[in-house]
């Protein structure tokens, strides 16, 4: 059974789902400050399009400097210095399109190439491919000194990503073309016509008789945590019961919650839609309710999308939380397929964009904060092909084909376009000694030579664990550094890293490693040692 709703309602629902997830993670930041100083939005056009041919549309609000009126397309060339000022805005979107302007009212089969980012100021910004993949876009947040605070990026070009998507769903039904036959965008399972993508029928059936435990956290007011368990029936249905804890209620913090039930058919459709039907205490409920039961449902559906349930981490969400998802969640591939959200996996492999409504449940960073420390939001429109990025090979955006592509995993690349050693990107951390700021972040200088450097910087430390020396990751940050530039990047340390630094009298020696390219095919660019100092030391 496939759940179908009207297109207009589906689009409104999807925006609601993604904003629901964003709201959960951003509520603390939004409560801390009711308004931010205006943020300068700087648009960098690295596409093959001229500024006259790139259109921007701001949805759900107008710019603070009057250059952009809500839902009114503007050519990039018409903006002063390719930038505008963003004031307070809730559930905002910035649409990017080629040839003419678009907006939220355009149907999904509209033959104009476009894509978008989403943000709430104050709050968060995110890339989104929940609806479709159309144009690779990067976002960086910067402080008043032009230091990069956080980065969200597409690490590979369209010509690498598109064939991977075509191999899952083919061209028919999922790929939308322009009026002249060029590529416009590739629809996700959440938007595509039924049967375009393979269903997870076998995966759901494999869970029959298995018991799962869901430990969720609702970052609402008040904050609540859950401990729910349930066993899947032969038809994939499940009823969960458990407790809800409200820490702020000191007199009676833990109470029995109402049972949450999902039919197998609703759950099967909900893994892709993110919003299957379920009941709470026998009454109909929905993710849009934005309550403690919605996060329980979210984690159940996300567990299937990320390939966690039934995998090597076990069937308690507390054990698989933030572990590597998709194929990496299984020791060996099971007999059934698919056993994870294949579209979301490809988006995750090549970018920091949302691949489905609940991507933030996984381990990857898919949001960047917009708080009082952010003065600039840099939006970079990437090209469809070249210059080459380590781990990503291709020559040009593939043209539409009447039949799905061959099963060969990659399309042969003409010799003239293959990357040469001289053209490949290389990124180096220049910092050798750094004092953490009060938020537990290290400010590093990263220099890029060759092609643009997209990937991540990872810090690791050697420490003794049960008489053995182990290598432990203490922090990581996504980078997107233009060719020939040196950028200052804030790298946040995790809890283990902060604890190790606090105990090190002379500072903690760590190894910085730069990895470029997609996550699954990342290429080591450089490594060096540096010393992390506690706050207050010099």
**CA–CA separation, 172 and 325 (whole Å):** 28
In the three-class reduction of DSSP (H, G, I as helix; E, B as strand; rest coil), residue 421 is classed as coil
Residue from 173, 216, 212, 215 nearest 196 by CA: 173
CA distance to 138, 273, 346, per residue, from 176 (Å): 22, 20, 18
106 in the Ramachandran plot: left (φ > 0), alpha (ψ -120 to 50) or beta? beta
Could you give the strand order of the β-sheet that contains 148-152, starting from the edge strand earlier in sequence?
Answer: 83-86, 39-45, 376-381, 137-142, 148-152, 486-492, 441-449, 426-429
* Contacting residues for 327 by C-beta, under 8 A, at least 6 apart: 307, 333, 340, 345
Task: List 212's β-bridge partners, or say none.
Answer: 230
Rounded distance, CA 351 to CA 370, Å? Answer: 20
* Per-residue pLDDT tens over the stretch 223-263: 999 999 999 999 999 999 999 999 999 999 999 999 999 99
**Residue ranges in 275-316 assigned as alpha helix (H):** 292-305
State the pLDDT confidence band at 388, using cuts at 50, 70 and 90: low
Residue 411 pLDDT > 50: no
Q: Which two tokens stand for residue 91?
A: 């559930």
More confident residue, 257 or 482: 257
**Which tens digit of pLDDT belongs to each residue from 142-165?**
999 999 999 999 999 999 999 999
175-231 pLDDT tens trace: 999 999 999 999 999 999 888 999 999 999 999 999 999 999 999 889 999 999 999
- 283-287 contacts at long range (C-beta below 8 A, 24 or more positions apart): 285/260, 287/16, 287/17, 287/20
pLDDT band of 35, cuts 50, 70, 90: low
Per-residue pLDDT, averaged over 417-445, amounts to 78
What is the rounded CA–CA span in Å between residue 389 and residue 379? 19
Q: Which two tokens stand for residue 64?
A: 């603070």
Q: Is the link from the previous residue into 32 a cis peptide, with omega within 30 of 0?
A: no
What pLDDT digit, counting tens, does each position of 492-514 carry? 998 888 889 988 888 999 999 99
- Complete DSSP assignment for 81-128: GGEEEE-SEEEEEEEEEESS---TTS-TT-SS-EEEEEEEESEEEEEB
Helix pair 7-32, 292-305: axis angle to 10 deg: 120
């Amino acid at each position: 059974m496939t759940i179908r709703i009207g297109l207009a309602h589906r689009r409104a629902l999807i925006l609601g789902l993604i904003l629901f997830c964003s709201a959960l993670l951003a509520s603390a930041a939004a409560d801390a400050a009711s308004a931010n100083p205006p943020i300068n939005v700087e648009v960098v056009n690295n596409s093959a399009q001229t500024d006259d041919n790139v259109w921007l549309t701001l949805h759900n609000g107008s710019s603070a400097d009057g250059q952009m009126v809500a839902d009114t397309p503007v050519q990039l060339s018409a903006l002063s210095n390719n930038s505008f000022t963003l004031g307070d805005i809730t559930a905002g979107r910035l649409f990017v399109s080629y040839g003419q302007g678009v907006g939220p009212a355009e149907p999904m089969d509209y033959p104009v190439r476009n894509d978008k980012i989403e943000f709430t100021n104050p709050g968060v910004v995110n890339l989104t491919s929940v609806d479709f993949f159309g144009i690779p876009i990067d976002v960086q947040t910067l402080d008043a000194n032009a230091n990069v605070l956080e980065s969200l990026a597409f690490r590979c070009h369209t010509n690498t990503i598109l064939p991977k998507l075509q191999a899952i769903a083919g061209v028919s039904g999922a790929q939308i073309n322009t009026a002249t036959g060029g590529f416009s965008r590739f629809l996700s399972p959440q938007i595509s016509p039924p049967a375009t993508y393979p269903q997870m029928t076998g995966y759901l059936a494999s869970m029959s008789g298995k018991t799962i435990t869901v430990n969720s956290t609702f970052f609402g007011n008040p904050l609540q945590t859950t401990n729910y368990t349930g066993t899947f029936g032969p038809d994939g249905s499940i009823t969960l019961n458990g407790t809800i804890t409200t820490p702020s209620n000191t007199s009676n913090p833990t109470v029995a919650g109402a049972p949450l039930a999902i039919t197998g058919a609703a759950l099967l459709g909900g893994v892709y839609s993110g919003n299957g039907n379920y009941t709470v205490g026998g009454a109909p409920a929905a993710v849009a309710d934005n309550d403690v039961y919605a996060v329980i449902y979210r984690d159940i559906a996300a567990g299937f999308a990320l390939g966690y349930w039934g995998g090597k981490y076990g069937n308690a969400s507390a054990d698989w939380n933030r572990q590597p998802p998709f194929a990496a969640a299984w020791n060996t591939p099971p007999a059934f397929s698919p056993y994870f959200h294949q579209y979301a996996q490809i988006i995750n492999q090549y970018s920091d964009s949302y691949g489905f409504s609940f991507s933030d449940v996984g381990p990857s960073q898919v949001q960047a904060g917009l708080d009082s420390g952010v003065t600039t939001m840099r939006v970079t429109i990437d090209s469809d092909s070249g210059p080459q990025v380590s781990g990503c090979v291709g020559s040009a955006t593939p043209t539409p084909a009447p039949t799905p592509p061959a099963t060969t995993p990659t399309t042969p690349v003409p010799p003239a376009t293959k990357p040469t050693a001289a053209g490949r990107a290389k990124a180096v951390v220049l910092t050798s000694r750094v004092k953490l700021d009060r938020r537990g972040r290290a400010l590093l200088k990263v220099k890029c030579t060759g092609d643009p450097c997209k990937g991540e910087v990872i810090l690791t430390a050697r420490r003794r664990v049960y008489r053995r020396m182990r290598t432990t990751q203490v922090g990581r940050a996504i980078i997107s550094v233009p060719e020939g530039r040196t950028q200052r990047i804030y790298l946040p340390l995790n809890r283990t890293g902060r604890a190790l630094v606090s105990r090190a009298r002379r500072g903690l020696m760590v190894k910085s490693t730069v990895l470029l390219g997609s996550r699954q095919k990342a290429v080591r660019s450089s490594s060096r040692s540096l010393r992390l100092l506690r706050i207050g030391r010099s």
